[in-house]
Amino acid sequence: MALNLGDVVPDFEADTTEGRISFHKWLGDGWGVLFSHPKNFTPVCTTELGAAAKLKPEFDKRNVKLIGLSVDLLSNHDQWTQDIKDATGATLNFPLIADHDKTVANLYGMIHPNASDTTTVRSVFVVGPDKKLKLSLTYPASTGRNFDEILRVIDSLQLTAKFSVATPADWKNGDEVIIVPSVSDDAAKEKFPAGWKAVKPYLRYVAQPTAGKPS
């Protein structure tokens, strides 16, 4: 199944290291990140899960729930959790789905036949409070993910969902943003009364809006 940005992501029930869940219900009214792993006891995945566990407080600040997936048995997850702690110093602090029959992997298109007929690629799905897909990333099995980048993108997604702005290349939280082209200069004067810097008529930089009334 191919998921497109803006699609409502498939709901599913699954066993996890924190009990059985119904995905949409588990997400609640917040954001979520679902990311897949080819199988348990793989070296790159071990480092990724440790990295994500260490960054969980940052995801919590953004009202984002983390959930991993491995196409392996739940009975193997406990030993892998211990391996993750031994290798990275981090204790797994979010659920890990046991998807041994590949039900969820197939629902979300995590298996790419030209890469492998049996194992998932390193997929990342960011889901908004409306249960719609806001971002998808696909890495080859050989390349570990950058969770700082995933946090950066979530900052952009949450900011641009609230204000009439977009984020430029290499943007980080706190940097200047761009007024979207659909906002005319007259409307921008109301939304951004402190003014902006126009590099081109269509490229207008403005200080990053802060929490408060959406613009």
Residues involved in catalysis:
45
Residues 201 and 77: their CA atoms lie apart, in Å, by: 55
Cα–Cα–Cα angle for 89, 125, 203, rounded to 5 degrees: 110
Strand partners of residue 40: none
Closest by alpha carbon to 162, among 67, 65, 66, 63?
Answer: 63
Which of 86-119 are b and which e, b meaning 16 or more Cβ less than 10 Å from the residue's Cβ? eebebebebbbbbbbeeebbebbbbbeeeeeeeb
Strand partners of residue 177: 206
Residues 122 and 140: their CA atoms lie apart, in Å, by: 6
Q: Compute, in degrees rounded to 10, the torsion defined by CA atoms 122, 131, 21, 79.
A: 20
Pairing status of strand 31-37 against strand 64-70: parallel
